[in-house]
Amino acid sequence: MRVLLLSDINGEQWAQDLSILDETEKYGWLWLDVTDPTQCEVEQLGQRFGLHPLTVEDIVDDATSQDKMERIGGYALVMYRTTTDMTAETAFSIVVGSGWILSFHTSAAQMHVDRVLDRLQEHSNELLGSSFVVYALIDEITDWLTMTMTQIEHDVVQIDNAVMTQVPEEHTGMLQHMGLLRRRIVGIQRLQLGKPDVVRRVARVLGSNDELGHHFRDVCDHLAALGSLCTQCEVVLSRAHSNFMAQMSLKMNQTTHGLGMFSNRWLVLLGLMLPLQLVAMAFGQNVYVPWMYSDQPLRFDTIAPWLGIMGCILLAFTVGLGFAWYRNYLSR
């Protein structure tokens, strides 16, 4: 467990337990950020700040949480999911009360808190307050999703160019990469769906001035652009996938055609050689074969039958091969 206490009096304080809350009554407003809280610690904070048991259950049960904004009594609960490594989702829970903010998240989402602290140091004190902290957290998570989607867009464009320019032999692992990118796009789309409604509801509740309301409207614009970017990347990736499968299909057809031509040529040759082999077997044993007897001289009249048989075989083979070439049997 790691606890951050940010207040208007003592500024930024860090602790490893909840003992830092012993003197919170003297603060004008405070932000308590808890990293990797246990159920017991969330229940303890719920008793301290008067949270409803269902609110505690929503904070603890990260697996079933959805983006939402609820007003319960004197506080509001904001659930705003984020992503950690482009695939895993995690909830970021924010509870906003009168003069205090509670935020709960896993250690994987600690980067959002660190960036918000840097942003708060850059802004003037008149903007610094509980409402602005909530906006900064929501805007930071939205910017992170947009940056993640921009990286995915870069990969999608690279795949689209590679499919159009590279030969199929260079597409090693292309299909797996497409599947991974599609899973990431679907994850970002799932995270983006409920966020615009949540931001609009938060703006109606916390947007107490025109400047803060303008900030929340800017977040809504970013979410709309994020949804459009997801749709655009999905269209480009679908086109690249179709082109890739078309190239693979063409390559398979060419390979099948080549194998068919190879088989046809060998079948024609075997078809020509089989009857010639039968002729040789039938007549070869009844004629004199050259050098059958080493002690007898080789004479033309003794090998004439053998020469006649061989000449007929070669003539028949040549005629058959020419006929097969003429009828394009060797090129089909």
Nearest CA-CA partner of 273 in 324, 207, 222, 215: 324
Query: What's the Cα-to-Cα distance from 43 to each of 37, 99, 222, 305, rounded to whole Å?
Result: 10, 20, 35, 110
* E strand or H helix that includes residue 15: strand 11-15
Q: Angle, to 10 degrees, between the axis of helix 53-60 and the axis of helix 39-49?
A: 150
For 232-276, write each residue's pLDDT tens digit. 999 999 998 888 888 888 888 888 888 887 887 777 777 777 777
Residues of the chain with pLDDT under 50: none
Contact residues for 88 (Cβ-Cβ < 8 A; gap 6+) = 108
d(CA 31, CA 24): 10
Contact residues for 150 (Cβ-Cβ < 8 A; gap 6+) = 229
Contact residues for 266 (Cβ-Cβ < 8 A; gap 6+) = none
Specify whether the CB–CB gap between 6 and 12 falls below 8 A.
yes
d(CA 119, CA 254): 59
Looking at residue 23, its pLDDT comes to 58
End-to-end CA distance of the chain: 74
Provide the H-helix boundaries in the chain: 39-49, 53-60, 110-122, 130-165, 174-192, 195-206, 210-283, 300-326
Tell me the pairing of strands 82-83 and 89-90: antiparallel
Looking at residue 258, its pLDDT comes to 80
Query: What's the Cα-to-Cα distance from 48 to each of 42, 151, 194, rounded to whole Å?
Result: 10, 42, 30
d(CA 41, CA 47): 10
Rg, the chain, Cα only: 40
Looking at residue 256, its pLDDT comes to 83
Residue type, 230: C
Count other C-beta atoms under 10 Å from residue 172's C-beta: 9
Q: φ and ψ at 78, to 5 degrees?
A: -120, 120
Bridge partners for 89 per DSSP: 83
d(CA 39, CA 61): 9
d(CA 1, CA 35): 6
